[in-house]
Amino acid sequence: MPKTLNVVDAHAHLGGCCVFDNNTTEEELVFRMEESGIDATIVQPYPGAKEAAKVHDRIAEMCAKHPGRFFGMVSLSPHGDHDAYRREVERCVKDLDFVGLKLHTIGHGVDPLSKDGDLVFATGHDLGIPVMVHTGPGIPFALPALCIPAARKYPGLKIILAHAGWSIFSAEAQVAASVCGNLYLETSWCLGEHIRWMISTIGPERVMLGADLPSNVPVELAKYKALNLEPDVYAQVIGGTAIEVFNLSSFVRVPAL
Ligand SMILES: [Zn+2]
């Protein structure tokens, strides 16, 4: 149980997924963290969770079992009753201490420009938590630029572009972040040189490590290590940015960077 936070994986899932046909266990998450030296992981349900609320409860139990090592992110479809959606997000944030909210463009079929897409951004904004949006595969909804209107409508809301365009749309993610200071880039599945370019143009304080799948944890960390970044820049992108964006220092002691 780490009492300092240095390395943070901002994107992981727990449980089963009927959309992408996979399943991730607590044991896999813990094993990969220990193997790669990840201090903390932010965990969300898969978009294909049969009952998102039950997975939220499982994530909360895992957070309680491993204090300071796991943090929760809410993920559920916004296509049902809007009041019920807000109630579940509020429950996770206020009762379970979750630190973020996911808008899954492909897994939940959500257009960021739609009314239901706006519900996610508005809920995150109202509760004061960042919203992570899946980008990359699943266009047109997953195009990074579709988050620009929400970033402008809610200037106080931090929006993280998950996968930062997944390499094929990484240039668009970089452009979106370059025109909106409240857009952040989580770089799972991107090429190493794309990550270097994002860091050098957008700045390390808006780029963060994420892995998405357990087997990808050592891979994503290796990409950052291979870039031979300056030590302060490296510390920022592998943990500092996520700590700041998700306000993790309010939960655990963080060393000065
Ligand atoms: Zn994911």
Predicted pLDDT at 19: 93
What is the rounded CA–CA span in Å between residue 250 and residue 115? 32
Q: Which two tokens stand for residue 227?
A: 């870039």
81 Cα: distance to centroid of ligand 1 (angstroms) = 24
Question: Which pLDDT does position 125 carry in this prediction?
Answer: 98
pLDDT at res. 173: 98
Contact 188, 216 (CB under 8 A): yes
**For position 252, what pLDDT does the model report?**
65
pLDDT at 199: 98
- Between CA 170 and CA 154 the distance in angstroms is 23
Does the predicted TM-score (pTM) go above 0.75?
yes
CA–centroid distance, residue 178 to ligand 1 (Å)? 23
Domains of the chain (ranges, CATH numbers): 8-250 (3.20.20.140)
Alpha carbon of residue 9 to chain centroid: 8
Distance 45 CA to ligand 1 centre (A): 9
Q: Please tell me the predicted confidence (pLDDT) of residue 46.
A: 97
Distance 3 CA to ligand 1 centre (A): 26
Q: What is the pLDDT of residues 63-74, one digit of tens each?
A: 999 999 999 999
Nearest by Cα to 169 from 219, 132, 206, 135: 135
Distance from the alpha carbon of residue 54 to the mean position of ligand 1, in angstroms: 18
The segments of the chain whose pLDDT lies below 70 read: 1-3, 252-257
For 145-191, the pLDDT digits (tens) are 999 999 999 999 999 999 999 999 999 999 999 999 999 999 999 99
What integer pLDDT is reported at residue 2 of this predicted model? 55
Token pair of 30, please?
A: 């813990």
In the chain, what are the helix, strand and coil shares in percent, each to the nearest 5?
Answer: 45, 15, 35
